Amino acid sequence: MSIDDAVTAAPVRQRTGGEPAPSVAAAWTDYLAAARQLDGVRRGAATAAAAQARAVEAARAELTEVRARLVPQQARLRELGVPAISLAPTPPELAEATRAMAGGPAAVLAGLRTAQGWAEGADAALAARGSLRPAAWPPRLRNLLVYAPLALVVPVVQLVLFLATGTGPLTVVALLVGLPMPAAAFAAGWLGVGRLFPPGPDGRWDRTPRLGLLTCLVPAVVTAAGIMLALLAG
């Protein structure tokens, strides 16, 4: 209700043709009643405007937080293979959201707080799922899953040949062939890390090259030294 409406609605005494003019006291009483009514309307309008301003400010802050949650969630879901079209709202969903937001800043704030709760639940679900995936492990631990099997292939083959043939020519050939294999295992592991795991936040892969070199070199050196000692002893 506007102030003009309040003035119109204020009680005003009108004279008829046969009535005497109102007294000064009656006019003053009517004036005070109208002034009180206008003051109440003004106070109510100011209170409503302040509440609306606070709701708008809170909605903006809530929107910023929701967006900050949704951006990394979208990236994580894309990494998990969710198609981009499934991450965008459909026209019926947009229409429903528009109807829900028609109630003003208070309705928008309530909707954003609901969305914030859904985003927190999605974060918890993604964290529980991601903790079981090697891609979410520390770089050193997950890269060992690639380097270690490659580093053990040649030494295991050499040991099997040695145990099967003894100190024969075949063992010597396997030992010589296996000498450059740590470098090949490291190269294969370097490529495998880039293929199996996503890059970091800076867009680069953490391949932990020192760890990869040690992982590929130590089993080969230990196995070669053991076989050489056995050949010399034989």
Q: Taking all residues of the chain, what is their mean pLDDT, rounded to a whole number?
A: 75
Question: Could you give the residue ranges of the DSSP H alpha helices within the chain?
Answer: 3-9, 24-79, 91-100, 105-130, 139-165, 169-178, 181-196, 209-233
Of residues 221 and 17, the one with the higher pLDDT is: 221
Average pLDDT over residues 139-150: 87
10: pLDDT confidence band, cut at 50, 70 and 90? very low
With beta carbons less than 8 A apart as the criterion, state whether 105 and 52 touch: yes
Average pLDDT over residues 113-118: 75
Of residues 227 and 16, the one with the higher pLDDT is: 227
> pTM here?
0.44
127: pLDDT confidence band, cut at 50, 70 and 90? low
Q: Residue 183 is encoded by which pair of tokens? A: 């470098």
Closest CA to 182 of 133, 215, 143, 139: 215
